Structure 1
Amino acid sequence: MIELISSLGAWSWIILGGILLAIEVMAPGTFFMWLGISAILVGAISFAIDWAWEEQGIAFAILAVASVVLWWRFGRRDRHELDESDQPFLNRRAQGFVGRVFTLEKPIVDGSGTVRIGDTIWRVTGPDCAAGSRVKIARAEGATLFVERA
């Protein structure tokens, strides 16, 4: 087994790098890309320097760990930037109504009623109020709006 490993040359690292880059294309996430680049670098260095397979393995490990750590530290966008959007309520539509005032379509009886917002009728929960009363959206949970008298 050692003889097989020691017989592998620079082209083996280039091929391994290509395989790792192909995996990155099929399963994107930029992790395999750095491993592939590290393997290709070790292969390129192996063309210039005749070094033992142990040294090649150590060089690959160091390059791989260093490139992944540097990517995670400096290369990727901050998670807060990913959370920021020009449409913050895109998938949380009800949250966009908090603080706004609307007119009840149906009265709130026993804590439950409805309000029309645009072309959608929303279920509201709050103190009993007559139809036509103005209510302010205090909070939203799922598709239910919690209201208070305006």
Structure 2
Amino acid sequence: MDIAFTLEPWHWLILLFVLLGAEALGAGGFLLGSAAAAAVVSLWLWLSPDMGWPLQLVIFGAGSLLLSFAYWKVFKKVNNKSDNPELNNRASQLVGRTVVLDQDLPAGQSKLQIGDTLWKVESDRAVPLGKKVSVTGHQGMMLLVREQV
């Protein structure tokens, strides 16, 4: 019966690789702390083989929490860095673009064709057909436009 309550270092190594495999499927880094905790318990158990399974589980649980929190605090900023932060923000990509109007643009909110998309736009004044407008900013997905002088 004692063998059912015995955890060996290789048990923790297997758990380490299972957690790394699950992380590879897209956990977003949250299983890395638990995988590192399994590695710590495996190493600690290899150095001190008389450690009981309740202490192993306590070390694994505490290590998982601490290492996951440390990963989140330290690497969150690193993972969020991008060489193109506006990649998926189409409205901000259009800021600075100039468009020739193919219809009159009334003051206030209306719609304007830019490229292949019909955008909600807001203009501070009416702009007649044929004039150029520039996208000066955006509020959510509404573009702010101004007549180019």
TM-score using structure 1 length? 0.65
Which of the two has greater helix per residue? 1
Q: How does 1:1-150 map to 2 (within 5 A)?
A: 3-49=2-48, 50-74=50-74, 76-78=75-77, 82=80, 85-86=83-84, 88=86, 90-98=87-95, 102-108=99-105, 114=112, 126=123, 128-137=126-135, 140=138, 145-150=143-148
Q: How far apart, CA to CA, are the structure 1 residues paired with 2:39 and 2:15? A: 8
Q: How far apart, CA to CA, are the structure 2 residues paired with 1:113 and 1:34? A: 49
Instruction: Flag the 1:84–1:103 CA change in 2: closer, same or farther, 3 A.
Output: same
5+ unaligned residues in a row in structure 1: which ranges? none
Per-residue CA deviation, residues 20-41 of structure 1 (Å, 9 max, x unaligned), is 2222222342222221221122
What is the deviation of 1:85? 4.3
2:5·2:53 contact (CA, 8 Å) conserved in 1?
A: yes
CA RMSD of the aligned region, Å?
A: 3.6
TM-score using structure 2 length? 0.65
The percentage of aligned residue pairs carrying the same residue is 24
Q: How far apart, CA to CA, are the structure 2 residues paired with 1:56 and 1:121? A: 58
User: Quick one: which amino acid aligns to residue 61 of structure 1?
Assistant: G
What is the deviation of 1:136? 4.6
Deviates more, 1:7-16 or 1:96-105: 96-105
User: Quick one: which amino acid aligns to residue 54 of structure 2?
Assistant: E
1:122·1:144 contact (CA, 8 Å) conserved in 2?
A: no
1:21·1:33 contact (CA, 8 Å) conserved in 2?
A: yes
Which is higher, the Rg of structure 1 or of structure 2? 1
